[in-house]
Amino acid sequence: MLRLLKLMLPFRWWILAGVLLSFATTGASVGLMAVSAYLISKAALVTDMADLNVLITGVRFFAISRAALRYAERYVTHLATFRILTRLRVWFYRAIEPLAPAGLMQYRSGDLLTRIVADIETLENFYLRVVIPPLAAMLVTILGCAILGRFDVWLAVALLAFIVLTGVILPLASRWLSRQPATELIATRAALNASLVDEVQGIADLLAYGQQDAYQARALSLSRQLNRVQERLAAIRGLGNGLAALFTSLAALTVLFMAIPLVTAGKIDGVFLALLPLTAIACFEAVQPLSHAFQMLESSQAAASRIFELIDSEPAVIDPVTLAPLTLSPDQPPAIEVRDLRFCYSPDEPPVLDGVSFSVPAGGRVALVGANGSGKSTMVNLLLRFWDTDEGSIRIGGRELHTIRADDLRDLLGVVPQHTHLFNASIRDNLYLANPEASEADLVAACQQAQLHEFIQGLPQGYDTLVGENGLLLSGGERQRLAIARAILKDAPILILDEATSHLDALTAARVWQALDRFMAGRTTIIISHQRANLAYVDQTISLDR
């Protein structure tokens, strides 16, 4: 709760404006109900319409102001909510970005999607349905008790008792009943979304192996479970709304029965008799949503706990508080030195790299070879500081890797990974990822070097052709050449090629390597490859086996 409220602090004036407008809207309803009742009673007693002009004007004023204030209240509260949600999404992304990729590997992509979309959207109810209604209801209660207390203090006490029953005891009971299903709702929704993302991403394999029915049955089971939980919450909400309506009517009857003897005794003018119970009813407009607010509180806390669970994770790589700026010679690429390197992904697993030492001189080319699982791609992850080393050291340009800010380090590296991720955007946008300031000529030159330009020119929309989700509209070789074009466009002083041409035919691969040979000139290069033909482009070969 405190952490959620802290996130709301930058928008405190918007929230205050929402509370005051909500109070003013309900206050106008109370005024409209009270003045209308008094006008009707007064009209039965007077003979001159002039005596009713002020009351008629009051009814018109409260009716018009109620509509205007309702619009203003909805506008301000929703605008504040959308701004808060925008800040939450940016805050959440900035919080989880340092965790990637090491800290996010244990989470399913569907679960991460649920946290950043559905769970944060659930918090919309926290600010709109949980924070504002109780504060507005408190102000309305004070107004209603003040009006009834003006006639008799016991009328105010009776109204306060029913408001406490409706606005405090009933919501607390609703919250207690909603706690378990609200938590279950968040967990089930996350499981369903994760399952659906898995099935959509793997639909081709499911169909190929005939497992679509089993996965569909699992998704339907989770969907039915989610429906059952939502029905339970709806039943609790319906019961709360019904009891709130009942208590509202009982409050009005109680105030009426208490006021009749006061009118009979002459302590209250009879013309005010209708005003009192109708004023009490109007006050409950602000109190009735509190039952739903407490139910939303449980859902919000369950969603918030999932969000905070993720962002409270310790990142695998932490930059020191103070870092000296990285200075490199503009005319000479940095050298790479690896000494007695030892690394394992978790303490209970055997080391992936154990006692590795090698060096790549400035502008030199080194090939890393070895069997699958020997640690070649792990070396790339360590050079990118996706993980930090357990023992030993890695130096770039004479600086220890952990003394270089991760973002500065990654600016030095142009990487063609073994598995390239392409965003569901155009070829042009995917290329701009490497260098947003690149010109059209730069894009064309990079694609020409990667032997991709002619293929792109043959597409109906050229560089504006969409590649599909994760580049599924392109072949494996086309995706790989696009990744090579990205690395060329980045123009970094260190180049890492991880099986860069494994999906290309021999002729195309040969042309790509000829272009890369020219591009690698003057760059410190590490090549990871199983193909012996590619080793002709390096100065030395290092085997990571054993």
In a domain, 214, yes or no: no
The total number of structural domains in the chain stands at 2
pLDDT of residue 21: 92
Q: Answer whether residue 322 shows pLDDT above 70.
A: no
| Tens of pLDDT, residues 454-504 | 889 988 898 999 988 778 788 888 888 898 999 999 988 999 988 887 777
Could you tell me if 250 and 375 lie in one domain?
A: no
Find the mean pLDDT for residues 384-410.
85
Q: Which of 298-307, 317-326, 450-459 has the lowest mean pLDDT?
A: 317-326
Could you tell me if 389 and 530 lie in one domain?
A: yes
Q: Which of 34-38, 249-253, 327-331 has the lowest mean pLDDT?
A: 327-331
Q: Answer whether residue 122 shows pLDDT above 90.
A: no
Q: Answer whether residue 114 shows pLDDT above 90.
A: no
| Tens of pLDDT, residues 181-202 | 888 887 888 888 878 877 887 8
Residue 67 binned pLDDT confidence (cut-offs 50, 70, 90): very high
Q: At what angle do helices 289-311 and 275-287 cross, to 10 degrees?
A: 20
Q: Which of 136-140, 300-304, 350-354 has the lowest mean pLDDT?
A: 300-304
- 316 compared with 466, residue with greater pLDDT: 466
pLDDT, mean over the chain = 84
pLDDT of residue 266: 83
What CATH number corresponds to the domain at position 122? Answer: 1.20.1560.10
In a domain, 331, yes or no: no
Could you tell me if 138 and 11 lie in one domain?
A: yes
Could you tell me if 86 and 131 lie in one domain?
A: yes
| Tens of pLDDT, residues 326-351 | 666 666 788 899 999 888 887 788 88
Buried b (16+ CB within 10 A) or exposed e, 192-202: bbbbbbbbeee
34-37, long-range: CB < 8 A, 24+ apart: 34/147, 34/275, 34/278, 34/279, 34/282, 35/59, 35/62, 36/278, 37/274, 37/275, 37/278, 37/279
pLDDT of residue 71: 94
Q: Which of 47-56, 205-214, 537-546 has the lowest mean pLDDT?
A: 47-56
Shortest CA distance to 416 belongs to which of 319, 284, 527?
A: 527
Give the number of other CB atoms < 10 A from CB of residue 47: 5
In a domain, 245, yes or no: yes
Note down the domain range covering 464. 336-543
Could you tell me if 295 and 437 lie in one domain?
A: no
In a domain, 456, yes or no: yes
pLDDT of residue 250: 92
Provide the pairing of β-strand 399-400 with 391-396.
antiparallel
